[in-house]
């Protein structure tokens, strides 16, 4: 395990936040919950029916038998614009994804994680509907925490934020700027750094002309007051490689040193993180949601118990950041 992920787990152990795992019938989730309990990585509860066989030491909540009055009221409040009936709400709160998100909304848990079984759309929908965006936040986006392998030739064991790789399909310039601000805050919270943010494109500093390039340069203009170094449009090699950055974007405070990469759309972001993971050997933790009022995160359906443990640690770091008034 890399030192960053070890550090995040140690921070979670010290914080002991209450995190609910909504898919407590999945063996990977149960294994992660048991290992979290044994290692003291947070206070973890799984949602599972009373009849499910759980090992000693794993805390359980059964949405079918849990006290529902407060949950129903919270659901009715969250979905007030849809005018649900109490019967509708009583049925809905027994859904594990919704129940977990409502536990966070009502303060019964500090954060929630799902997606090992359910699709991203189902997991994110529950979070958006039950928890919602943080006040003043123009959108909710996502990022992947990418940890490079120790054998990497220039950044051994280095960590980066890739955003948005899982949620916003075609951001306009305003949305790109908002994603950049959120991703920078996420980098500061998780990595403990002053982030250097690169707005990626197929062009570097006017090497190509197209409306898609203009969108990126427009986003940069909207970040003129950003409290962190940001530059664009930059090709990936100019953002990542010191020599290429110096050649293609001389004088840039970001080129060659970027640790936050903002992709121009979901096509590029999703493809990019998977190439880094599958060919480059990077560890990819996410998609992690940013911009919510309280933390709720997604998992890949191909995740391992280790991935879930790492997501518990990432979620705990987000809870810490929100407690300090930082929005991720």
| Structural domains for the chain | 3-134+305-323 (3.40.50.10950), 141-278 (3.40.50.10750)
- pLDDT score for 327: 64
Q: What is the pLDDT of residue 286?
A: 87
Q: Mean pLDDT across the chain, nearest whole number?
A: 93
Please say if the pLDDT value at position 106 is more than 80.
yes
284 secondary structure, DSSP code: E
Check residue 175 and give its pLDDT.
98
Spell out a b/e string for 262-274, using b for 16 or more CB atoms within 10 Å of the CB, else e: bbbebebbbebbe
The pLDDT value recorded for residue 66 is 85
Chain mean position to CA 233: 24
Supply the pLDDT for residue 53.
87
CA distance 75 to 70: 9
pLDDT of residue 322: 79
> Rounded CA gap, 21 and 114, in Å?
6
- 326 — pLDDT class (breaks 50, 70, 90): low
Q: How far apart are the first and last CA of the chain?
A: 25
Beta strands in 49-150 (DSSP E): 59-61, 111-114, 141-147
pLDDT digit string, tens, across residues 214-269: 999 999 999 999 999 999 999 999 999 999 999 999 999 999 999 999 999 999 99
| Nearest by Cα to 315 from 127, 55, 58 | 127
pLDDT of residue 325: 61
Percentage of the chain modeled with pLDDT above 90: 86
Q: What is the pLDDT of residue 328?
A: 67
- What pTM does this model have? 0.89
Give bridge partners of residue 261 from the DSSP assignment.
162, 198
DSSP 220: H
CA 287, 143, 207, 177 torsion: positive or negative?
A: positive
**Has residue 1 got a pLDDT over 60?**
no
Give whole-number Cα distances, 227 to 42, 70, 142, 180, 234, in Å. Answer: 32, 41, 21, 11, 19
Report, as an integer, the average pLDDT of 59-87: 92
Residue 105 above 80 pLDDT?
yes
Tell me what the mean pLDDT of segment 111-120 comes to. 95
The C-alpha atoms of residue 72 and residue 22 are separated, in whole angstroms, by 18
Taking the mean position of all CA atoms in its chain, how far away is CA 27? 23
Q: What band does 57 get if pLDDT is binned at 50, 70 and 90? A: confident
């Amino acid at each position: 395990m890399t030192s960053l992920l070890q550090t995040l787990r140690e921070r979670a152990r010290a914080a002991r936040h209450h995190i609910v795992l909504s898919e407590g019938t999945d063996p990977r989730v149960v294994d992660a919950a048991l290992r979290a309990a044994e290692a003291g990585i947070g206070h973890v509860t799984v949602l599972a029916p009373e009849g499910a066989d759980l090992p000693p030491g794993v805390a359980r909540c059964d949405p079918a038998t849990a006290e529902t009055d407060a949950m129903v009221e919270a659901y009715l409040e969250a979905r007030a614009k849809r005018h649900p009936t109490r019967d509708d709400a009583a049925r809905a709160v027994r859904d594990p994804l919704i129940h977990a998100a409502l536990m966070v909304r009502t303060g019964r848990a500090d954060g929630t994680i799902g997606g090992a079984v359910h699709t991203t759309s189902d997991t994110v929908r529950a979070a958006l509907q039950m928890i919602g965006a943080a006040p003043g936040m123009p959108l909710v986006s996502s990022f992947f925490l990418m940890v490079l392998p120790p054998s990497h030739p220039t950044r051994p064991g280095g960590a980066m934020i890739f955003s948005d790789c899982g949620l916003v399909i075609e951001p306009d310039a305003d949305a790109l700027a908002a994603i950049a601000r959120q991703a920078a805050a996420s980098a500061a919270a998780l990595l403990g750094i002053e982030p250097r943010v690169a707005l990626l494109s197929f062009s570097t500093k006017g090497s190509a002309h197209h409306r898609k390039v203009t969108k990126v340069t427009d986003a940069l203009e909207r970040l003129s007051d950003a409290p962190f170094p940001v530059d664009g449009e930059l090709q990936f090699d100019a953002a990542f490689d010191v020599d290429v950055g110096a050649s293609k974007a001389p004088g840039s405070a970001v080129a060659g040193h970027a640790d936050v990469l903002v992709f121009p759309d979901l096509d590029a972001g999703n493809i990019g993180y998977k190439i880094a993971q599958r060919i480059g050997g990077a560890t990819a933790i996410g998609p992690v949601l940013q911009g919510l009022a309280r933390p709720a995160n997604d998992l890949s359906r191909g995740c391992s118990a280790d991935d879930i443990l790492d997501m518990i640690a990432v979620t705990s770091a987000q809870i810490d950041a929100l407690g300090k008034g930082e929005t991720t």
